[in-house]
Amino acid sequence: MKKRTGCISIVVLLCMLALPVSGSLTDQENGGKLYFSCESDDNCQLTPVPIGEEIISGSVQANPLMTESVAIEFDMVPAQTELAVLPETLDELFIDLRVQGDAVGVYTPEMDVKLIIGSSVTDLESEDSALPSTGGGTGHRWEDTSLNLDKGRLLWPGDAVRARIVFTVDRPSTWELHLRGASFLKLDIAWSENVGAKDVDEPTSALQPKSTSLEDVHYGALVGDDSDCWSFSVESNEIMRILIQWEDVPLELQQSNGIHRLRTSGGLQVAAPEVITKAEGDEILTNYRWRALEPGDYVFCLNGQIDRFQPYIWSGVYAVESSGPTDASEFEGKVSYEAQFFDFSTGETEDLTQQNGVMLFPVIGFLIFFVAQFYRSTTSTRLRSFVFVPAIVLLFLSGIVSPLWTMADESQSESEWSLEQLLDERVKQLWDVSSPATPEATMIEHVGATFGIRNGEDLRLWLNIESAYEREDGRWQLIVKGLDNVRIDQLVFNQISESRSGRITDGLDEQIVTFSIIATRALLLDLMMLEALLVVDEQPSNSIHHIDTAMISTSSFGSLSSPTWATRPAGIDDASWKRLQTSLYPERITVTLCDCELDLLDLQVEYSNQFGAEDTPPFNALRTTSGIIPYTGVVAIVSILVCLAIVVNEEQRRRKAKQLAEAYASTSTIWTSLF
């Protein structure tokens, strides 16, 4: 192989070796960009700054019958030192490879790239384009390409970051790989953390707790299944509290926010405390409270789980009995969804009911009457054939067939869910994925999915609309019947009770706490999104509506610790969906769970003031029930009036004919022969 070296390369390389440059993929500016670099032909690396050779090259004697492959492997140097969360897509990968054929000029051969980033292994292939090019250079570029995150999206310190490129040549050629900034990969790392910098003030083990004072402020981090333990003395007290503030980390990294045990110095466990867990924004605050704890020496341990990481701050405090912010009396004990949070009530209000069967029986009566009239003799065959018969047929279609069609469409099909069924299925889904045994990628996928409907699945809803409000833009906001009676707390606690066979053992364990927080948030946000989508252009005339749409993946909203709305209806474009996400997401959501004498759940929402009528995109998957004829009521009434007019006209003409006949002959003679 041929190399090009220079003084600048040597200087940069020496600087790299001398300075503490980090090669870690991080969320800092340019922290997700790595350059393909080679210090020599057989020593290539991924580096945070361009170094080494400017070009490496070689010659290949190949032909279509005996192709040759060239493989080059790049390892990240320095190694990964931070814990990072990988994005769903690779922003950009460009490999500046130029191949000069003996006869065809510069061309682009096929190339395969294997990206190994922690447990993520992604195979990329170039487009099948090996045509000659008259340009001065060619290359391979991938943009916004999905990464394979089936085994998780976490990159731990020390994990491998490697790129292996293989290109195949089928003719005698000379290839050049341009480096020193020409070839690079770019990832948008959303979150990273220096684990070692956070893991401070850590005791040695559970058997050797670190001596401290209860009221000191303690900083640390639970890394994996570590146990951080402290020993301290407890004075005489009415109430002793331990408050733990957990730092915001991605959902799959969160440690247990359930009960971390307190025991005596002799090893006896203390009775379970009252626990209040508060999730405000992206922070979680856990408050343990013991009443009249016996004075003495105690050991408090925070117990971690494998493959989890979460920094914390904790401190203890003595208190007296009072009704303060940690008292259960602050909770109302009822968490209901507040429908109609959109301020469109200044417009016209329309109450909706099912009315398709109201005119069915009167229409049947009219139809029987008109059919009987049809069999009577007529004074005008043309009027009967071209007006009366079509009017009867139209009455039959608009007054009977179309309402029956609509009534059939109003019924809920087996493939549809009602609002109640959707919410029940959602809480069951969230309970299953909140288990500590659930893989990280699976948990993120289900929690973030809108209504729990993942990419490629269909959303089919049967909705009974109670009323509609005319909005400022002239469109109509639909309100689902019973939406303002949805009890989020009952859905959450009923699911916990059913899953635990009516028993909650060991207080608020990890799954109960995680499920209660994510389920309350998810149900709130799902109901908000549903209400935002229930908008139609015209004033609805029927109460039953259907939603039938495929859901496709999109970028989630919220934070890494609380992703949401990661799937969207296929009929809504990505830009409109992102606009709706941004304007609709609340300023703050506070979920508080109390393991008191009665399990209580509290939800406080500060809604966004950015949402406007123009932020609601057209949603064609929402449709009302309809018959085979539009405006069936009007058509049926017109048909009845036409038929009645013809019947009256026939009666008048018969009367005139009878009077005329009586003027020329006796009544008995004429009418005996005619009738």
Inside any domain, residue 341 = no
Closest CA to 195 of 32, 283, 84, 29: 84
State whether 51 and 102 are in the same domain: yes
State whether 166 and 247 are in the same domain: no
Residue 646 — pLDDT band, cuts 50, 70, 90?
confident
Sheet holding 191-193, edge to edge: 154-155, 83-85, 191-193
Residue 644 has which token pair?
């009645």
Residue pLDDT, tens place only, 275-297: 888 888 778 898 898 988 899 99
State whether 56 and 168 are in the same domain: yes
State whether 127 and 147 are in the same domain: yes
| Amino acid code (one letter) for 378 | T
CATH of the domain at 167: 2.60.120
Report percent pLDDT > 90 for the chain.
33
Closest CA to 419 of 485, 359, 344: 485
Report percent pLDDT > 70 for the chain.
80
Return the pLDDT at 549.
95
Angle of CA points 550, 551, 557, to nearest 5°: 160
Return the pLDDT at 675.
46
473 pLDDT more than 90: no
Q: What's the CA gap between 415 and 405, in Å, rounded?
A: 19
Q: Which residue segment(s) compose the domain that 546 sits in?
A: 415-593+613-624
Q: What's the CA gap between 517 and 314, in Å, rounded?
A: 21
Residue 324 — pLDDT band, cuts 50, 70, 90?
very low
Residue pLDDT, tens place only, 154-190: 999 999 999 999 998 888 888 889 999 999 999 999 8
Q: What's the CA gap between 406 and 624, in Å, rounded?
A: 10
Return the pLDDT at 203.
66
Inside any domain, residue 92 = yes
Return the pLDDT at 102.
64
State whether 183 and 203 are in the same domain: no
Mean of per-residue pLDDT scores for the chain: 81
Return the pLDDT at 361.
67
Closest CA to 302 of 367, 384, 244: 244
Return the pLDDT at 607.
87
> Which has more confidence, 335 or 3?
335
Across the range 545-553, mean pLDDT stands at 93
Count CB neighbours of 217 within 10 A.
9
Terminal-to-terminal C-alpha distance of the chain: 116
Q: What's the CA gap between 543 and 410, in Å, rounded?
A: 9
Q: Which residues of 242-265 are buried (b: 16+ CB within 10 A; e: fewer)?
A: bbbebbbbbbbbbbbbbbbbbeee
CB 49 within 8 A of CB 77: no
β 544-553/458-470 pair status: antiparallel
Q: What's the CA gap between 273 and 123, in Å, rounded?
A: 51
Q: What's the CA gap between 217 and 18, in Å, rounded?
A: 38
Q: Is the peptide bond before 78 cis (omega within 30 degrees of 0)?
A: yes
CB 569 within 8 A of CB 581: no
Return the pLDDT at 367.
72
Query: Percentage helix, strand, coil, to 5, in the chain?
Result: 30, 35, 40
Residue 18 — pLDDT band, cuts 50, 70, 90?
very low
CATH of the domain at 256: 2.60.120.380
Count CB neighbours of 23 within 10 A.
21
Q: What is the DSSP letter of 329?
A: G
Inside any domain, residue 665 = yes
State whether 110 and 202 are in the same domain: no
Q: Return the residue matching tokens 């009036």.
A: 641
Angle between helices 574-584 and 510-533 (to 10 degrees): 110
Q: What's the CA gap between 182 and 95, in Å, rounded?
A: 7
406 pLDDT more than 70: no
358 pLDDT more than 80: no
> Which has more confidence, 642 or 241?
241
Return the pLDDT at 1.
40
Residue 206 — pLDDT band, cuts 50, 70, 90?
confident
Closest CA to 338 of 222, 488, 558: 488
Query: Mean pLDDT lowest for which of 303-317, 509-523, 615-629?
Result: 615-629
Residue 581 — pLDDT band, cuts 50, 70, 90?
very high
Query: Mean pLDDT lowest for which of 51-65, 303-317, 340-354?
Result: 340-354
> Which has more confidence, 321 or 654?
654
> Which has more confidence, 234 or 646?
234
Q: What are phi and psi of 259, to 5 degrees?
A: -90, 125
Can you give the three-state secondary structure of 143-191, one letter per residue? Answer: EEEECCCCCCCEECCCCCEEEEEEEEECCCEEEEEECCCCCEEECCCCE
Return the pLDDT at 103.
61
In a 3-state reduction of DSSP, which class is residue 314? strand
Domain boundary among 330, 351, 373: 330
Residue 306 has which token pair?
């494998």
Residues 6+ apart with CB under 8 A from 2: 56, 57, 58
State whether 183 and 224 are in the same domain: no
Residue pLDDT, tens place only, 605-614: 888 888 888 8
Please give the full DSSP string across 270-298, using - where no structure is assigned: PPPPEEEEEEETTEEEEEEEEESPPSEEE
State whether 429 and 450 are in the same domain: yes
586 pLDDT more than 50: yes
Domain boundary among 624, 643, 665: 624
Q: What's the CA gap between 95 and 142, in Å, rounded?
A: 9
In a 3-state reduction of DSSP, which class is residue 100? strand
Residue 620 has which token pair?
């064609």
Residue pLDDT, tens place only, 21-57: 456 899 888 889 999 999 887 889 999 999 999 999 9
Please count the residues of the chain. 675
CB 663 within 8 A of CB 447: no
Angle of CA points 348, 475, 353, to nearest 5°: 60
Q: What is the DSSP letter of 130?
A: -
Count: domains in the chain: 4
State whether 187 and 238 are in the same domain: no
Across the range 223-242, mean pLDDT stands at 90
Return the pLDDT at 629.
64
400 pLDDT more than 60: yes
CB 567 within 8 A of CB 533: no
> Which has more confidence, 462 or 400?
462
Residue 633 — pLDDT band, cuts 50, 70, 90?
low
Return the pLDDT at 644.
80
136 pLDDT more than 60: no
State whether 543 and 422 are in the same domain: yes
Residue 198 has which token pair?
């956070």
> Which has more confidence, 94 or 403?
94
Residue 341 has which token pair?
């949070």
Return the pLDDT at 16.
41
Inside any domain, residue 350 = no
State whether 458 and 560 are in the same domain: yes
Q: Is the dihedral of CA 178, 181, 182, 183 positive or negative?
A: positive
Inside any domain, residue 118 = yes
Q: What's the CA gap between 182 and 38, in Å, rounded?
A: 12
Query: Mean pLDDT lowest for which of 257-266, 567-576, 607-616?
Result: 257-266
Inside any domain, residue 99 = yes
Return the pLDDT at 10.
35
State whether 237 and 319 are in the same domain: yes
Inside any domain, residue 589 = yes
Q: What are phi and psi of 613, to 5 degrees?
A: -60, -30
Q: What's the CA gap between 276 and 345, in Å, rounded?
A: 37
Across the range 653-670, mean pLDDT stands at 67
Q: Quick one: how far is CA 92 from the chain centroid?
A: 25
> Which has more confidence, 402 or 326?
402
Q: What's the CA gap between 415 and 546, in Å, rounded?
A: 12
Inside any domain, residue 568 = yes
493 pLDDT more than 70: yes
